[in-house]
Structure 1
Amino acid sequence: MPPSFLLTRDTLPSGADLAPLALRLFAGTFLIYMSQDNVLSGERMSEFVGFLRQFGFPAPEVLAPLSVYAQFAAGIALLGGVMTRVAAAVMIVNFVVALTMVHPSLPFREALDPAAMLACSVALLLLGGGRWSVDRVILGARQAERPIAAASP
C-alpha cells in the first residue's frame, strides 16, 4: 500500500464529496460579492430600492434590504456549510422572485446569473452541505450528507 500522503484513488475524495463543497464555495462567494456593495453602502442600497420600485415591487424599502441581507447571510452560511439547506431554500425564493418579477423584461444574458444561482440553490437544497461542512459536524454524517430525496423513510 502506498504512503497515505500520496494522492491515490483511495486517498482522493470522491466527486460526491466534492460536489456540495464546490457548489457551496461558488454560490457563497458569488452571493457575498454581489451583495456586499449594498450591505456596505447606503447609497447603493438606495439605488437598489429604486430598482425594485421601478419593477413594481411592493414596499421596496423593506424588500431591498431583506433581499440583500438574506443574500449576504446565505453567502456566509454557504461558505462554511452552516444551515446549508435553510440558506439554499431562502435563496430559491429570492431568485425565483428575481426571475419572475425582474428578469422577464430584461435581456436573456441578465437572467443567467440568477438562473445559475437558482440552480445551485436547488442542488444544495437536495444535496445538503456535504462532507466538508459545519452541518456535518453539528448534524452528523448521516443527516448532513443524505440527499433530501432520501430523507424520507
Structure 2
Amino acid sequence: MNDHQNIKNQYRKYADLPIRLLVGFHLIRGTIDNILSWERMLEFKAFLELHGLIFLLLGACVSVNAQFICGILFIIGYKVRWAATVIVFNFIIAILLVHLGDTYINTFPALVMLAGSICLFFYGDGEISSSMAINKRASKTY
C-alpha cells in the first residue's frame, strides 16, 4: 500500500466523529432551552399549532426530549443506530409537516440533521465510542 492509503486507513476510525459531534451538538443546542424553560416549550407547542399538528404539547415534549437525548447519545457514541432511527423519523416528520414549502435556508438545518442521522444509522457507533469501550471492557472481564 502507498503512504496515502496507509494514512486513510489509519484515520478511518475517526470518520464518524465530525458528524456525530456536529449533529449531536446541534440537537442539544436546539432543544436545551425548551428543556430548561416551560415557557419555551409552550412556544414550541404554539409553533406546532401554527402548522396544524395534533397532540401539540405531547408532540412538542416527545420531539424535544428525543432530540436532546439522541444528541447526547451521538456525542458519546452509544446506541448510535437507535438514536439515528429516532432522529431520522423526527426530521422526516419535521420536513414534511413544517418545512415543506419553506425556504431552502430555513429547511437546511433540518436537512442536515436528517442527512447526518442517515449516515450515522449506516455507520453505527464507530470505533471511537462509549459502546466500543464498554464492549472492550466486557470482553476483558470474561
Q: State the TM-score bracket (shorter-chain normalisation).
A: 0.7 to 0.9
Higher relative contact order, chain-length normalized (CA < 8 Å, sep 6+): 2
The answer to whether the 8 Å contact 1:89/1:121 transfers is yes
> Could you tell me which amino acid in structure 1 is paired with residue 94 of structure 2?
A
Choose which of 9, 16, 20 in structure 2 pairs with 1:20. 16
Q: Which residue of 2 aligns with 1:57?
A: 53
The whole-number CA distance in structure 1 between the counterparts of 2:35 and 2:62 is 11
User: Runs of 5+ in structure 2 lacking a partner?
Assistant: 137-142
Query: Matched residue pairs, number?
Result: 132
* Alpha-carbon RMSD: 1.8
Q: 2:29 aligns with which of 12, 26, 33?
A: 33
Tell me the amino acid that sits aligned with residue 100 of structure 2.
P
Q: Deviations over 1:104-128 (max 9, x none)?
A: 1322210000000100000000001
- Deviation of residue 137 (structure 1)? 2.6
Q: Give 1:10 deviation, angstroms.
A: 6.7
**Counterparts of residues 1-150 of structure 1 (less than 5 Å):** 14-139=10-135
- Partner deviation per Cα, 1:83-138 (whole Å, 9 max, x = no partner): 11000000000000000000013222100000001000000000011111012233
**Counterpart of 1:45 in 2: which secondary structure?**
helix
Question: Greater helix share, 1 or 2?
Answer: 2
Alignment TM-score, normalising by the size of structure 2: 0.86
- Contact 1:21-1:129 at 8 Å conserved across structures: no
**Structure 1: 5+ residue runs without aligned partners?**
1-8, 141-153
Aligned-pair identity (%)? 35
Please list the CA deviations of residues 43-73 of structure 1 after superposition, one character each: whole Å capped at 9, or x if unmatched: 1100000011111111111000100000000
For the 8 Å contact 1:88–1:122, the answer to whether it is kept is: yes
Report the Cα offset of residue 139 of structure 1.
4.4
Contact 1:130 1:136 in 2 (8 A): yes
Deviant stretches of 4+, over 2 Å: 9-16, 137-140
Contact kept? 1:85, 1:125, Cα under 8 Å? yes
TM-score, normalised by the number of residues in structure 1:
0.80
